[in-house]
Amino acid sequence: MRFLEWLGDAAAVRVSGRDSSRLRIVVTLLHGNEPSGFRAVHAWLREPSEPAVDALLIIANVEAALTPPGFAHRMLPGRRDLNRCFLGPFDDPDGALAREILDAIGARKAEALIDLHNNTGHNPSYGVGIEPSPAALALVSLFGRRFVWSHLQLGALMEALPDLCSVTIEVGRSGDPRADAVALTGLHRFLGREELFEEGEGEQVAVLSMPMRVCLRPGLDLLISDDPDPAVDLTLLADLDRHNFERMETGTPIGWCRMPELPVELIDEAGHDRASEYFELDGPELRTRKPLVPIMITTDPKAAMSDCLFYVVQEAALERS
């Protein structure tokens, strides 16, 4: 925290490497409550280790991270989510910072960029990107074994960098020392390796496409608890997030519902609701009707009601050439 206070605002740290003809970029703290990437950069800077190539280390939303009690605000109240600002508009404080970050990244051609995040809920580390290229999978393999192929256009950093090999890495839950360790180990690999893209590097990484969103039906309310509450439309099991990235077999409980109809919708890429294919009610109990793999299950009722409960992914069959 003292280092962050000393910085005071967004910062870009440049470090010379053994091969100064190449550059790699690390972005951290786009979200002020996701400290693992920042902690990894700080720990790495304290050790005298020369990177393989030049490095540019960007520490982004220092203002949100410093706001008491510290590492508690994704963004400041009333402000925009910085990682939704990279496709413009750029005419407010968050847009202006996004523009500055893009300018710093674009000032010199880089061979790769990683953007380090934490998430909520129990998750293994995984990468998110817009294209499962061999190079992107090789970057993900420095941190984990899963790549989520996102088709969403949200204004996230990587969407604004189509010509740069870049991935978002979700290292695990904020505040979990294991997430900090994943970030630091991966950062050492990213900055220390002479070559990032040796043949076969990303072959162990499973690619999951993210076509379906599970949302609460409009107008319903939600509780996250271990016990059903008959006053609430849907009670979602409190430890549901332990299933993140795991296959849930047919009949796995999800929660309890007080109406006779399914309380959720499952929207596929074509916009069709396929909830009745994947979920069923057994009395008040909501459970899976066929096997599925959920990811990004949230245990935050506010996020679940305003956005979605979780995603259902499928293993993408990739041709590896």
- Give the interface with Zn ion as residue ranges (CB under 5 A): 31, 34, 117
Least gap, CB of 284 to Zn ion (angstroms): 35
Closest C-alpha to 53, from 164, 187, 192: 192
Q: Is 134 exposed, middle or buried (0-12, 13-18, 19+ CB in 10 A)?
A: middle
Q: Pick between residue 81 and residue 111 the one whose CB is nearest to Zn ion.
A: 81
Give 22 or 39: the residue with its C-beta nearer to Zn ion. Answer: 39
Closest residue to Zn ion using C-beta atoms: 117
Whole-angstrom distance between the N-terminal and C-terminal Cα of the chain? Answer: 46
Residue (35 or 294) nearer to Zn ion, CB: 35
Burial class of residue 314, CB neighbours in 10 A (0-12, 13-18, 19+) = middle
Helix (H, G, I), strand (E, B) or coil at 149: strand
Q: Rounded to the nearest whole angstrom, what is the least distance from the CB of residue 117 to Zn ion in the complex?
A: 3
SS3 316: coil
Nearer to Zn ion, 36 or 209 (CB): 36
Of the two residues 31 and 39, which places its CB atom closer to Zn ion in the complex?
A: 31
Task: Find out whether 114 and 44 touch, Cβ atoms under 8 Å.
Answer: no
What is the closest distance, in whole angstroms, from the C-beta atom of residue 302 to Zn ion in the complex? 16
Residue 296 CA, distance from chain mean position: 9
Element at 216 (helix H, strand E):
strand 206-216
Q: How far is the CB of 83 from Zn ion (least distance, A)?
A: 6
The DSSP secondary-structure symbol of 18 reads: S
Distance, CA of 186 to CA of 175 (rounded, Å): 17
| Least distance from Zn ion to the Cβ atom of residue 65, Å | 12
Sign of CA dihedral 151, 156, 159, 164: negative
| Minimum distance of Zn ion from residue 119's CB (angstroms) | 7
Which residue number, 170 or 265, has a Cβ lying nearer to Zn ion?
170
When the beta carbons of 28 and 141 are compared against Zn ion, the nearer one is 28
Tell the smallest beta-carbon distance from residue 155 to Zn ion (Å): 13
**Residue indicated by tokens 């998110």:** 128
